[in-house]
Homo-oligomer: A and B are copies of this chain.
Amino acid sequence: MGKKNKQFVEKVTAMEDDFAQWYTDVVKQADLVDYGLVRGTMIIKPYGYAIWENIRNELDKMIKETGHSNVAFPIFIPESLLQKEKDHVEGFAPEVAWVTHGGDEELAERIAVRPTSEALFCDYYSKNIHSYRDLPMLYNQWANVVRWEKTTRPFLRSSEFHWQEGHTAHATDEDASIETERMLGVYADLVENYLAIPVLKGRKTDKEKFAGANYTLTIESLMHDGRALQSGTSHHFGSGFAEAFDITYLDENGESQYVHQTSWGLSTRIMGGLIMVHGDNRGLVVPPRIAPTQVMIVPIAQHKEGVLDKAYDLRDQLKEVARVDIDASDKSPGWKFNEHEMKGVPIRVEIGPKDIENEQVVIVRRDTGEKEFVALKDLQARIGALLADIQQNLFDKALAHRNEKINIATTLEEFKQTLDEKTGFIKAMWCGDQACEEKIKEDTQATSRCIPFEQEKISDTCVCCGKEAKELVYWGKAY
């Protein structure tokens, strides 16, 4: 037995015992990633990449359907360009990897490996936008970016990660607002309907917004351990970057105007969310709509005559309704069960000599572990229905879990106590003063996650200072 197979029978650490270790075990044992040699980089392995490709393909479709074009901008940004927008460079410079030499030659100016690409798009827009006819300009790119982080974890915080970044320019502030919301809606659609992860939609506080943005919209999800994950953000820049980069257009009256911009990104970070929302102590659980393999057929007693033939027949039949694969390797069935459970394949189909005799198969669903016998003639229909059911069940379970973990606090004492006793989000009123936000973070380690679009009034006063409350905020410890 090769060393490679062995890992699948090793169990993962129980999440109740050590959630961080459970996470690390799952990413390794489900064959999602390996560590790169340079600090904080990761190798996304075939299975991990296949899941990311499915997410990417769905999101790419949505981005195109909302009128955006894909482009490819350079990975290199001259230091002087990055410095044009003051808040932006302050936010990102500490995390920049700097190229100083090309071959043997020392460069006259340092070059940033892009941590994000606003500066490059802005420079391009300043040269290529002239008239109102050129607007809106709706660009997107799928790219790798680098942020030199102190502590890293696969997917959640890696020094290189993969994402898409949209960059758009509009004639009016309102057009930019509509775009910012539209793309947050696209992210919410993707994450809820494909990844089966419920999200809270809202606005970031000024403290937590993107460096250089007017405001940032966010979708926030809740992990199994009660910590939050920022899962996608959409930024409204107003004309701040346009003024810094001199991006103007002539309006219908021939007058020069600044453009209004947005940017929005969703990254491989969401893979971490996928793991921590749906995974369990037997490993990963992948929602059917993004599962590389939705149905894995495991032949039982495959050396017996007719079993493998029948299994291949089944595969060909099921191809019409699902992404199906067959494991005809010479490992034992039990070994295969563990392996495909660890990888989170939504449905396992077992077929052996007895099943063939009875014209049936055994079906096991990954999310609940439930087994059922299904007559061969009903199999196609049953698989189709079951995939939809699993998708819905994963979402419902995650939603119930998330809702269970939304706590309320009206005083800072209550806030601290709740956070000590429970995990999850804390809903609390806020006066809008950054000093309170900072105090809460200092006292509790919880940050403001978002000011939800759906506002409620749970008390009249700020949870921190007791002055008049302005709005409801979701708080939480976050990844």
A-B contact pairs, 17 of them (CB 8 A): A2-B130, A3-B130, A4-B128, A37-B74, A38-B76, A42-B74, A43-B74, A43-B120, A46-B70, A49-B72, A75-B75, A75-B113, A75-B144, A76-B97, A76-B160, A99-B99, A102-B159
Given contacts A100-B101, A104-B94, contact A2 B72 (CB under 8 A): no
B133 touches A76 (CB 8 A): no
How many copies of this chain does the complex contain?
A: 2
Q: A70–B54 Cα gap in the complex (Å)?
A: 12
Which B residues are in CB contact (< 8 Å) with A41? 74-76
Question: In the docked arrangement, what's the CA distance between A187 and B34, Å?
Answer: 30
* In the bound complex, CA of A3 to CA of B130 (Å): 7
Q: In this complex, which of A44, A46, A102, A134 has the most chain B Cβ atoms within 10 angstroms of its Cβ?
A: A102
Query: Can you list, as one digit per residue, whether each of A31-56 has a CB less than 8 Å from chain B (1) or not (0)?
Result: 00010111001111110011011000
From residue A147, how far is it (CB to closest CB) to chain B in Å? Answer: 9
**Are A148 and B98 CB-contacts (below 8 A) given A36-B73, A69-B46?**
no
Distance between Cα atoms of A94 and B123 in the complex (Å): 30
Chain B's nearest CB lies how many Å from the CB of A212? 18
The answer, yes or no, to whether A131 is at the interface (CB within 8 Å) is: yes
Interface residue from B4, B99, B159 paired with A130 (Cβ < 8 Å):
B4
Q: Measured between C-beta atoms, what is the minimum distance from A129 to chain B in Å?
A: 8
A58 CB, nearest partner CB in chain B, Å: 15
- Is A146 part of the binding interface, using a Cβ–Cβ cutoff of 8 Å? yes
Q: How far is the CA of A281 from the CA of B97 in the complex (A)?
A: 44
- Residues of A at the B interface (CB closer than 8 Å) are 2-5, 34, 36-38, 41-46, 49-50, 52-53, 69-78, 81, 93-105, 110-111, 113, 120, 123-124, 127-128, 130-131, 133-134, 139, 143-144, 146, 148, 159-160, 162
Is the Cβ of B74 less than 8 Å from the Cβ of A49?
no
CB-contact partner of A134 in B4, B128, B144, under 8 A: B4
Residue of B nearest to A95 (CB): B103
Partner of A78, one of B38, B71, B81, B93: B38
Q: Which of B50, B81, B162 contacts A69 (CB 8 A)?
A: B50
Taking a contact as CB atoms under 8 Å apart, the answer to whether A111 and B38 are in contact is: yes
Beyond A41-B76, A98-B100, A144-B144, 13 additional pairs, beta carbon < 8 A? A4-B133, A36-B73, A37-B76, A41-B74, A43-B71, A46-B69, A50-B70, A74-B160, A94-B104, A96-B102, A97-B102, A99-B113, A105-B148
Known A2-B130, A148-B103: A38·B71 in contact at CB below 8 Å:
no
Q: For the complex, give the distance between the alpha carbons of A71 and B4 in Å.
A: 18
- Nearest B-chain residue to A292, judged by Cβ: B69
Assess whether B3 is in contact with A131, with CB atoms less than 8 Å apart: yes
CB distance from A93 to the nearest CB of B (A): 7
Query: What residues on B are CB-neighbors of A102 within 8 Å?
Result: 96-98, 148, 159
